[in-house]
Structure 1
């Protein structure tokens, strides 16, 4: 791309301003720099292998076009091109091709249906290898026919357009992206085909992988994603069915959204020694078990989540897996600290069954298991909390007792200060009658 930009600038610099003095306006439209496209010269291989053609551009600064191949050629190798265009129906005239290799091409231009092998022998098991090649765009419907293998090795791909690889054949033996750099995969770029082995290894994906970028793919053998770097997986980025074995190992993910993987697994899942910088809510929840599993087995399969590092865990639900599996968490290091309140919440979740295998950053800036944080650090905090609560409760009880005693003393003192009531002396009934007569009639005569 830089060469395409710099070349016209250099031409204008060389021509200079005198160009306008020598060229009229009518001639200006006729003055355009065209690079004539040259058909690659292909020769038969001198090796004993019959039917192989080698097309070598020799790194010449030319825009080459792949010739139209016909006949019983069994192998084709196109190599060492500065620029190579493969036009539509380039290979439709072949019927015995087993191997196509495009290697060392600085700018490979593929037109729609340029890799069409519909007329090739379906039993030829055709293999397509693109190696050490820059492809600005893999267009829609570029591959067609009975293909056995498609491999991108040390390639730089600008964009996989929708339906780049779709409905390839009855069953693709393998699809591999190895040690490659991919800028963008658009929705439905890989769609509706069966493959025995799907491998992404040592590759980097820059742009977010869109919803259903890999869609309705039956992986009859293994889907292996290893030693790779992926920026952001949007919901449903990998939407597949009938994946027998799913393996992610030694890879880095900047962010996984919820249900980034939507897969029906036939056998097992292994996620080992990866780094997940950020995991959103239920990123792995979409990985479920295919309904046919229990017709062949009686126990749940294992889902291994071992020796992975996490940059940030929103909450316990981020590490949420389907109950279809016997989930095993081991050696999970989460690069964030948690408080005792959070440990209590996590202990009540799935992580409580693996508290010895979940590690957080402790107050000493070292990794410490969830169990130790909860039982030691939080126990010490609880001790001081209980001590403070005990002191407060004891103080309240003592104050209450003092108030009760004070109230009792005051009440007794007030009781003694009341007037004493004089009670009359007890009399008999006869004595009471005499007293009443005296009070009513005065003194008796005998008293005079």
Structure 2
């Protein structure tokens, strides 16, 4: 009598009275998740031009490289199905997790392209074995539904300075690597800490992608350019850009759904410019969001801030200029520019510019007693144009201490046009002139002058009356002296003396 071998899950079902169909279904679901390496193949110029994907590659390079290494997850699925399984035994690879295997030391490719993956995992040290002299010019991820990057995922073998100079003596930045890392139509839950650490990367580009969160120390290395374009970012964690160094930091058409945490950009050094254009921030920008940082130029253009920007949110050193153009702020504080100061690298007699043009503020809050408008740093040249505040114009709200009254606009009372229309606003100068807001000072002056005039007139009347009374008494004494006879006795002499000193004496002789 032969023994029947029962599966372990069947024995568990018998003793625990668990429905076996549920266990079988769970086992099938677990089997659906398959980890497999991505299949990579080399493509030359002729194959690449016929593949129909040259348009995706051409914007990043003027010419198509002759050593392109293409890793396609769809090709990997077809290869696995054809080699390992028959038609009746094809597994369900809907939830296949592809793993980008470590490239060997013999890898020689000018460009590496990873495309068309549902789930892709890039472990640490994937590019570490590639020799420094043969690092690719471009590593590009395209159309990845769920991309998971580990810390040190792009770590590479860094060449010595001498090798770099010999390889490319005309490189203006020999300390930077040759790799341009780009992500196009990729979804990332997060950028972990030190994800770019130790990598020979020159530029990092995100286009039409989504990043759940940029974790602490994720961008803490040196680049030439870091660009986010048409991308959704969940949040900048604290110290996300700590001690990062780059020439350009650009955010174009970025939607940030979470809050911009304090000290997210701490110790950031940008040699050329920080540009944030056509972006949307749905949550609050906390104080010191940019702190202990420096750049030549800060540009905010065409952005929408749905929540408040806290006091001193931008604390950085500026060398050339700060420009705020065509932005829309939900709530803005008067201390926005209080943390901005002149860079130590600026000439002693130079005056950086602060340009504010065509900005719209829904709520403008005054947080200082020394000024009723924006507090600007010292030694900056201020240029203001069409600064609109969507608050009803009153004599109190338009009482600003900034001299450019003609360029500060408030919401006009009884306006018939929409709030975002320029005709709905009236300048501070025009409103105060029409409503006579500055006449209160003249009234006070008139009241003071009238009071002084009344006191003077009253004093004159009283003084004139006293003088007239004294004159009348003197006349009476003269008349009395003429009518009274000369005294002949001692008694008459005493009476006359009393008349001179007292006046009319009621007595009889």
Identify whether the pair has TM-score above 0.5, normalized to the shorter chain.
Answer: yes
Alignment of 1:166-177 (within 5 A): 166-168=220-222, 172-177=223-228
Aligned pairs for 1:301-320 (under 5 A) are 301-315=352-366, 319-320=374-375
Q: CA deviation at 1:360?
A: 0.5
- State the distance in 1 between where 2:146 and 2:331 align: 36
Q: Does the aligned pair in 2 maintain the 1:282–1:317 contact within 8 Å?
A: no
Provide the residue aligned with 1:80 in structure 2. 116
Matched, 1:33 2:72: no
Residues 1:363 and 2:422 are matched in the alignment: no
Mark the CA change 1:299 to 1:88 in structure 2 (over 3 Å): closer, same or farther. Answer: closer
- Asked if 1:55 is matched to 2:71, the reply is yes
Cα pair 1:236 1:262 within 8 Å, conserved: yes
Which of 146, 151, 157 aligns to 2:200? It is 146
- Report the Cα offset of residue 248 of structure 1: 1.1
1:47-446 aligned within 5 A: 47=45, 49-58=65-74, 61=94, 62-70=96-104, 71-95=107-131, 96-119=135-158, 125-144=178-197, 145-168=199-222, 172-230=223-281, 231-253=283-305, 254-295=307-348, 298-315=349-366, 319-344=374-399, 346-347=400-401, 351-352=402-403, 354-365=404-415, 366-379=424-437, 382=440
Cα pair distance change 1:32/1:382, threshold 3 Å: same
Report the counterpart of residue 421 of structure 1 in structure 2: none
Asked if 2 retains the 8 angstrom alpha-carbon contact of 1:252 and 1:276, the reply is yes
CA distance in 1, matches of 2:358, 2:21: 70
Change (3 A) 1:242 1:429: closer
1:257/1:281 contact within 8 Å kept:
no
The answer on whether the counterparts of 1:276 and 1:309 sit within 8 Å (CA) in structure 2 is: yes
Deviation for aligned residue 1:117: 2.2
Once the two structures are TM-superposed, the CA of residue 103 in structure 1 deviates from its matched residue by 0.7
TM-score (norm 1): 0.75
Q: Any idea what the Cα deviations from partners look like across 1:240-281, whole Å, max 9, x if unmatched?
A: 533012111111123211111111111112111111111124
Q: CA deviation at 1:143?
A: 0.9
Structure 2 gap segments, 5+ residues each: 1-16, 47-64, 78-92, 169-176, 416-423, 462-484, 492-509
Q: Counterpart of 2:317 in 1: which secondary structure?
A: strand
What is the RMSD of the two structures over their aligned residues, measured on CA atoms? 3.4
- The question of whether the paired residues in 2 share the 8 Å contact of 1:92 and 1:119 is answered with no
Q: Secondary structure at the match of 2:396?
A: helix
Structure 2-normalised TM-score? 0.67
Does structure 1 conserve the Cα–Cα contact (< 8 Å) formed by 2:309 and 2:332? yes
- In the alignment, is the contact (CA less than 8 A) between 1:85 and 1:110 conserved in 2? yes
Contact 2:398 2:410 in 1 (8 A): no
Query: CA-to-partner distance for each residue in 1:404-431, whole Å, 9 max, x for gaps?
Result: 9xxxxxxxxxxxxxxxxxxxxx9x989x
How many residues end up aligned between the 2 structures? 378
- The structure that is strand-richer by fraction is 1
Between the aligned partners of 1:186 and 1:196, the Cα distance in structure 2 is 22
